[in-house]
Amino acid sequence: MEKDSTQRGKRPFVAKPNDKKPYGKPVGKPGEKKSYGKPGDKKPYGKPAGRTFGKPAGKAGPYGRKPESKPAHAPNAPSSLSRKVALQIFQDVVRKDAYAALSLDDRLKNTNLPQLDKRFCASIVYTTLENLIRIDYALSFFLKDAESLEPTVRDILRISACQLLFHDRIPENAIVDEAVKLTRGAGLEGLTGLTNAVLRSMVRGKNEIKWPRPEEGAKYLSIMYSVPMWLAERLTAAYGPETAEAICSYRSESHFTTIRPNMNQYTDEAFEALLQKKVWEVEKGAVAHAYRVRRAAEIAQDADYLAGHFSIQGESSMLAAQAVNVRAGMQVLDCCAAPGGKTAYLAESMGGAGRVYAWDLHEHRVTLIRAMMRRLRLENVRPAVRDAAVLKEDLAGAMDAVLLDAPCSGLGVMDDKPDIKYRATPESVRELKETQEKLLDTCCQYVKRNGTLVYSTCSVLPEENGEQVKRFLEKHPEFTLAPLPETIDQRFRKEYTETGLQLLPHRDGVEGFFIARMKRIK
């Protein structure tokens, strides 16, 4: 499924360490050192301070990327307002179940923060979310009974501990002082002493935290890479400990936006000539027609984007559309189409001939598809509000190809959207599996004989992917797994198995995705 189209039941979350300790007051007396053994030799780092605003990444660290924040001294020290906004965004996510990217955009567009402060704010939010379980574990050595602590103070401690652990270019005293200011500014004067004591204890004792060791298995993965314990266990069982750690620990070395030309208007060569006129840093992606762009702030406001000359689309999403292998004149159904990236790719690949039916369950999401059609000037797309799990009998057997980019856990894009890993639960995955199976059983009926069915998700869980395809083929002998088209690069085709293609970010350099291409043989 496309990055922003994950469909999950909404639920608030509060990440916790797996070793539960009582929380809520500073441990020991202020100034008293603790001796818990030595942590690792190197300090882990989080996201770069520019992931949302186009700043290139810093040097990779052992657990992520080194933020490029500047030392906190005048005139370039991050402002108190940037931390206040970061706290608001973080609380939107952990207290109100908001999506981090959406809250970040909404909050920052209503501030007059300079770009440096906006980047710092984004870094705090994403690095805290990315490392939340690890941060809570670290705080447990300096704080008791966190569950009963006033929620705002707990969150101030979290974003401040994030800075102490992962933003090594900011003076520690400045971090503590700003945390006290935040506590006071929240009307919690009586808790400023606790904030100060906990963080100053962390300053003194952070190098003595006893971190889990690799031989502790899933517990190590869960705490060190901040993934829920159930997910660490499931990935270990599915992939083995080495690959599971690679999946959990993956942090892309640099942040970029992937774009592709409007294929009705540009060849790759002509599009490259257009890109040469930009001030962006551009390189070719791993997928045909994909270009990776850096230093492009607010790219969706670029004049060429607004004119429909290019689309913003992930490379794995492009691969899913390429797997359909459409030709001019075909009748194609994109079952869960919003926001429309794959629909556009299919429609453009057909050169405006034939028809792409683009369905989605919600009116506001179909509105996004219509807006995409107008921007790209696509005449061969037919959007509709429709539940793809309910058969439209008059279209049974009418489609040359069907693309089902199914609702899923979204765990293939944890690096880009760290809040996703806290939203998914064993229960939500079980419900999604049932939905995926129902969608497959229904949507396969639209495929005509010798037609193509492509099933995809942005998940790395086998139960949503290969196991789902295996069950489908056992249940529907009229379908068989088909090879990926040769237009897809061999580097991806060689990973195709008897149940489909599982893309892994650390191995393939693209978003975590699953793609299976099936053909109706009778």
Residues with catalytic annotation?
458
Which residue matches tokens 């904030």? 195
β-pairing, 399-405 with 331-334?
A: parallel
Residues pairing with 60 in the sheet:
65
From 136, 170, 226, select the one nearest 49 (Cα to Cα). 170
Tell me how far apart the alpha carbons of residues 261 and 256 are, in angstroms, rounded to a whole number: 16
The answer to whether the bond into 228 is cis (omega within 30° of 0) is no
Q: Which residues of 266-304 are buried (b: 16+ CB within 10 A; e: fewer)?
A: beeeebeeebeeeebebeebbbebbbbbbbbeebeebeb
Which residue matches tokens 């010798």? 450
Tell me how far apart the alpha carbons of residues 390 and 335 are, in angstroms, rounded to a whole number: 11
**Does residue 501 come out as left (phi exceeding 0), alpha (psi in the -120 to 50 range) or beta?**
beta
Tell me how far apart the alpha carbons of residues 308 and 324 are, in angstroms, rounded to a whole number: 23
- Helix axis angle for 172-185 and 151-166, nearest 10°, is 160
Contact assessment for residue 443 and residue 435, using Cβ atoms and an 8 Å cutoff: no
